[in-house]
Amino acid sequence: MNALRRIWEHFEEGFIAFLLATMTLVTFVYVVLNNLYTVFYSLGDNWPAASEPAFAIGDSIMGMAQAMTWSSSLTKALFGWLIFFGLSYGVRTAGHIGVDALVKLASKPVQRFIGVIACLCCLTYAGLLAVASFEWINTLMIAQIGAEDLGHFGIMQWHIGLIVPVGFALVFIRFAEILVRILMNRQTGLGLADEAAEAIKLTEHEEDKP
């Protein structure tokens, strides 16, 4: 149970790390291939004795680079997934900036009441977008349209767009967890980031430096 809890608490981080690693690896391989074949062409031009194998290797590498035209589309798709996992991650870790200067002037019960109302509004928003995006994905599933430059791998547009309802569903769940904590008196608001407080802490930290 504890292991499952830890996985759930770090679910977004795991996917974000995987997506970043995949994007970096694909881009790195594509850039290397696009620059490596010129090395063998230069070697063949400057070393006639090895020109035939050097040109053959260069042609092979250039062919692989040209075959990776899908890398840009894959990177854009993974970036889209990264954005929606980032939304959920921001809610869970209080990474989104909140404007609550006036709210903090109120008493704790009033802050808690406002927090419940705000949380219900966020749940409504996330729920509506999750349902609407699921209907959109259902339409794409029926149409079976291939993704740009990825369709020949069997990847459909709905495969990529599936992150939209999944992402908003995760956001809904994370706000539901916040609502439970507010109702249990474990926190008073949404727990969003306080940019002013962070700036003050940073200033104090800089002043404490010798």
Gap between the Cα atoms of 124 and 116, Å rounded: 12
Gap between the Cα atoms of 168 and 87, Å rounded: 8
CB 150 within 8 A of CB 73: yes
* pLDDT, one tens digit for every residue, the chain (210 residues): 677 777 777 788 889 999 999 999 999 999 998 888 888 888 887 887 778 888 888 888 888 888 888 998 999 999 999 999 998 888 887 766 655 555 666 677 887 888 888 889 989 999 999 999 999 999 999 999 998 888 888 899 999 999 999 999 999 999 998 888 888 888 776 665 444 444 445 455 555 555
Which pLDDT score, from 0 to 100, does residue 159 have? 94
Which pLDDT score, from 0 to 100, does residue 20 have? 94
- pTM equals 0.78
Q: How wide is the angle at C-alpha 125 spanned by C-alphas 89 and 92, nearest 5°?
A: 20
Gap between the Cα atoms of 201 and 203, Å rounded: 5
| Maximum distance among all Cα pairs of the chain, rounded to whole angstroms | 85
DSSP 17-81: HHHHHHHHHHHHHHHHHHHHHHHHHHHHHH-GGGHHHHHHHHHHHHHHHHHTTHHHHHHHHHHHH
